[in-house]
Structure 1
Amino acid sequence: MERPNTLAVSFKARAEKGKDGVAPLYLKLTVNKVVREVSLKYSVDLKLWNSRKGRPKLITDEMRQLNTELETEAGLVLKAYKEIEREGDVLNADAVKNRYTGINQPEAAYTLKILMSEYEKDQKPDMEWGSWKNYVTTYRYISAYVTDQYAANDIRVSKMDHAFMAGFKTYIRENPLIPHRPAGQNGLAKHIERVKRMVNWAQQSGKLAVNRVEKYRAPKKKYVRKYITEFELLDLETCKLNDPVQQMVRDFFIFAVYTGVSYGDLMALKPIDLVVGLDGQRWISNQRLKSENYFLVPLLHQPLAIIKKYWEDERSIEREALFPYISNSKLNTELKIISTARCYSRPLRFHDARHMFATYITLAKNVPIESVSKMMGHAKISTTQVYAKIVAAKVKEDMTILQARLDQQQPTTVKLLEVSMEEIIARHKSLSNKTIEPENRLSAETVDYQTEEAEQSCTVETPSLSYRINYVVSK
């Protein structure tokens, strides 16, 4: 006689994987004496865990809530077991585990790996490699996360919720792909955004009924960008560089400073992109690789001279381009070497040139923001307005430095034990031999003498009261 199938579900706190007395919880399912474990998204204080019963001690509201959620998980395992039994498929521990974790489920067979594969087929052809490679990195992170945290090779998209995304964020931070180089706050947010973008795409494509990650938020940190100063830019233009590669890197950076082109657009420039404008001068006109927006930039003397320098370079001719090829990583590495050797205020990156074009070269020189937006190929003027804020911040910073310098120029101070208003005026008359009329009377601490042609001021301190007085000298 055939023995009936049996199912048992229990929970276990893995103390060996815990830290500071808190251990992760695992679900243990047994089908016909074959055991499989699944990592859960819960952790528990070992002091509040009843290892004999495999349940939390119901002494706090938090533990009672945890117990309810564990009962829900046990119910999902039972549901998976019943579904397989009803469908007549092979019923074993692996089948139940896979159905519970979202693998091989008929109506919900839309898993993360299927989503990523379909998204790649649909979106990759419209993206540049520089943008798509970021998705590749996100794929590597989320695949490793599912394998390590859920003990599975895949997970159905419908099970991805707020807790899944929160755990994914933590996993990225604690498990960098490159050792000792963890992702920063904005890097984490970018990975979260890509996953949400894929899930949103699945929902819009009719492949997913409910989007459970839509409302998850990963805040970004706002940074105040800092760039090299105009003095450092002048030094970069004029300094002597013996290395031919560094000379070329410097030329490309200066070209971008005076045109605003990005690395990708620079490498894509061809002789056909040089046009003659209505003013009879040379311009560059092309389509941005990133946004496909057109940009049109008049060539100043500096970039025009750089184009002429590489016009007949064999490497440029071979590429049928304006400039020889150099990789973005090599470009930035050499820029960092140059800026470090020249003791600049911060390491250079090639993209800094585009920011400098928008700030120092154009907006700070009163070029209209609409013109700057067109030259930079921005789809929205709000993108360009970010640089306008940077210019305003730079002006404020410069004025703060000026104020500090002025504050260091301490005026002559005279302190009197007792003085009357008449004595103050008489003293100023004797100093200037000019008629002085009081203009204002303000409270202050000390007496300042500032010699000006049209205006003088002083502050008088006495034991009983103080005055700050501005005088207009009558000629």
Structure 2
Amino acid sequence: MATRITYSFVLKPEANKRGLNPIYIRAFQHGKKIEIATSVALSKEDWSEKKQRVKRRNLAHEKYNAILEAFEKKALKVILNNFVHEDTALTLGQFKDYMHSAGQSEESFTNYILHYLNENKARLKLESWWSYKSQITKMLKFKKEVAFADINEKFINDYQHYMLHVLRNNENTVSKSLRSLRTFVNISMRYGYIKSNPFKYITIKKVDGKRDFLTAEELNKLSQAYFTGEIVDVKEKEILQYFLFSCYTGLRYSDLKVLKTSSIEGNSLQIKMHKTGYMVGIPLTNKALQLLPEQSQSQTVFRVYCNKVTNRILKELGRRYNIPKKLTCHVARHTFATVSITLGIPIEVVSKLLGHTNLKTTQVYAKIVDSVKEREMAKWDTL
């Protein structure tokens, strides 16, 4: 059986700057030890080694002993919970991280973050606000009540395991949730609700997920269905219209929603990217120009349906036209990037058109276009 942690309070022989001796928790496991500072410091004469408490002669003995009892209750709780509920023994490092939260608030971490989000809704992008709210809902499925004192390295690792093996989230989804949690932790640390950083020794990985995109042939199939009038349902036609426009321009769904008629001047489009705030100029191809409504009675170019409706209709169209891809609005942006690279447009130009702030973001698309690799490697045959 795994060796459990034992501990005791100890009086440090070295005095601090005030001439007082700090009280530490000394914990042992497998012959190794760690020490965890408490906020209690006193004269040697005021400490009872036998009772592990501050003597009554000290004027602040009630306060100090209450602090030590809080530490002891927390130590007993984490050791007992691990013994009853966990298959692997608690490590000294995990014990130390948990005990560092002993002085933290037992108030609700999730309620505080929800209150913070509501107070700051006006300055957050709506997509970010909803994303953060959904992350809190997801966390509460893992644990019904999450206090500030619960947030430690073990909680993060357990939550990660839950997302991977219970919810069956992919690694990128898990990484996104952990980044949101880290944001919440940073907010809590800024306002003093969490004392030490539980993410200090945790690395959040980001892997390149699968990016569905249309081939030139699949794009032409949908384009032909639109322009030849095969699509007669009004909603389907409107959704396919702005989906195809995105395929030919690379605009995000959030940019399509706010695209104004005033942004289009002649054969070019000038738009401030919703996500990055960057101004981007996009020359419009003949296909893109043909997709623009002839007359728009509103300030926006397209009538854009909500994401859920848009993606549902796109999936239906994908099945109807035998396109073996999970069509979503963002597939259009991936399509623009990959088809552009396939056509031989320099990746630096594609990056500018997409409004990327870093060329590395665009290089992901170059990795997944096999035809480009084949075309470039064929240049060796000309030697």
The TM tier, using the shorter chain, reads 0.5 to 0.7
The offset of 1:341, in angstroms, is: 1.3
The offset of 1:258, in angstroms, is: 0.9
Q: Which of these residues, 291, 303, 308, is aligned with residue 324 of structure 1?
A: 303
CA 1:198/1:128 → structure 2, altered by over 3 Å: closer, same or farther?
same
2:368 match: secondary structure:
helix
Q: Structure 2, unaligned stretches of length 5 or more?
A: 9-25, 28-35, 39-51, 54-59, 67-72, 79-97, 379-383
1:214 corresponds to which letter in structure 2?
K
Query: Does 2:190 match 1:213?
Result: no
Query: Does 2:158 match 1:167?
Result: yes
Query: Does 2:147 match 1:155?
Result: yes
1:261 is aligned to 251
Query: Does 2:219 match 1:229?
Result: no
Q: Which of these residues, 219, 237, 243, is aligned with residue 233 of structure 2?
A: 243
2:280 is aligned to 295
Q: Which of these residues, 156, 169, 173, is aligned with residue 187 of structure 1?
A: 173
Distance 1:194 1:394 in 2: 37
The offset of 1:123, in angstroms, is: 5.4
Conservation of the 8 A alpha-carbon contact between 1:141 and 1:172: no
* Structure 1 segment 65-76 matched on structure 2, within 5 A: 65=4
1:424 is aligned to none
Distance 2:243 2:104 in 1: 55
Root-mean-square deviation (CA, aligned residues, Å) is 3.9
CA 1:355/1:154 → structure 2, altered by over 3 Å: closer, same or farther?
closer
TM-score (structure 1 length as normaliser):
0.55
CA 1:360/1:107 → structure 2, altered by over 3 Å: closer, same or farther?
closer
CA 1:141/1:348 → structure 2, altered by over 3 Å: closer, same or farther?
closer
2:253 corresponds to which letter in structure 1?
Y
Q: Structure 1, unaligned stretches of length 5 or more?
A: 1-59, 90-95, 148-152, 177-181, 276-280, 403-475
Conservation of the 8 A alpha-carbon contact between 1:293 and 1:377: yes
Conservation of the 8 A alpha-carbon contact between 1:250 and 1:335: yes
2:109 is aligned to 112
Conservation of the 8 A alpha-carbon contact between 1:311 and 1:323: no
Distance 1:186 1:210 in 2: 26
CA 1:205/1:190 → structure 2, altered by over 3 Å: closer, same or farther?
same
Distance 1:126 1:115 in 2: 18
* Structure 1 segment 53-452 matched on structure 2, within 5 A: 60=1, 62=2, 64-65=3-4, 86=63, 108=105, 112-113=109-110, 115-117=112-114, 119-120=116-117, 124-147=121-144, 153-156=145-148, 158-173=149-164, 176=167, 182-204=168-190, 208-239=194-225, 240-275=230-265, 281-307=266-292, 310-312=293-295, 316-317=296-297, 319-361=298-340, 363-391=341-369, 393-396=370-373
Encode CA deviations 1:176-196: one digit per residue, 9 max, x unaligned: 5xxxxx433321221111101
Larger of the two Rg values belongs to structure = 1
Aligned length: 302
1:15 is aligned to none
Distance 2:111 2:236 in 1: 46
Conservation of the 8 A alpha-carbon contact between 1:369 and 1:384: yes
CA 1:213/1:111 → structure 2, altered by over 3 Å: closer, same or farther?
farther
The offset of 1:380, in angstroms, is: 1.9
Conservation of the 8 A alpha-carbon contact between 2:172 and 2:209: no
Conservation of the 8 A alpha-carbon contact between 1:138 and 1:191: yes
The offset of 1:129, in angstroms, is: 2.0
1:296 match: secondary structure:
strand
* Greater relative contact order structure (CA < 8 Å, 6+ sep): 2
The offset of 1:87, in angstroms, is: 9.4
2:4 match: secondary structure:
helix
Encode CA deviations 1:23-45: one digit per residue, 9 max, x unaligned: xxxxxxxxxxxxxxxxxxxxxxx
TM-score (structure 2 length as normaliser):
0.67
Distance 1:87 1:120 in 2: 37
1:473 is aligned to none
Distance 2:303 2:371 in 1: 35
